[in-house]
Amino acid sequence: MFKKMALMLALICPATASAKPEKFLCTFGNGRSYASDFTKFLSNHAVFVMDAENGTATAYDSYVHLMHQSPIPARFKKKGDGKYQLRWKLVGVPVEVTRSDRDGSTRIYDSKVTFRYSFLFDPATKQGFLSARGGGKSFKTTARMSCEETNRNIVFQTLQPV
């Protein structure tokens, strides 16, 4: 009798399973650059916390650490194919730009660039593509990342301007 009542209650009032955010440590691999070797604008590792149920996410890598010292919110979108799209931007990232003058001499300029990042993540395979672009069309690169779930708290080192 008790089992029947518990079963009926479970069917009538199902427990609301609230999925907790998932934290992934992702590792850079197979970098491919579209302009030159701008893969230096991608960190070797990144941490993404994604809450698909609430549509929220954070991104954290060495560039985010350089600019904010902690994870930052990322726009989250669940795509029709089940993949997750995260987007964020960093404003004022210090970079060194090398330019060749007409006389053949080379100059190095310190500059600040806004980078826009996009991470397309497949939760089924735990694989993703991270892309970064900045300075208009000056810098553009993308890389494949392999991810694993983690509970570790990770702090990245501060970078020097690139």
Please give the backbone phi and psi of residue 63, each rounded to the nearest 5 degrees, phi first.
Answer: -75, -40
Task: Render pLDDT for 21-77 as a digit per residue (tens, 0 to 9).
Answer: 999 999 876 444 443 445 567 788 899 999 999 999 999 998 899 899 999 999 999
Task: Render pLDDT for 66-113 as a digit per residue (tens, 0 to 9).
Answer: 899 999 999 999 999 999 999 999 999 887 777 788 888 888 878 888
Q: Which amino acid is at 41?
A: F
Q: What is residue 137's predicted lDDT score, i.e. its pLDDT?
A: 61
Helices in the chain by DSSP H: which ranges?
Answer: 2-12, 62-68
pTM: 0.76
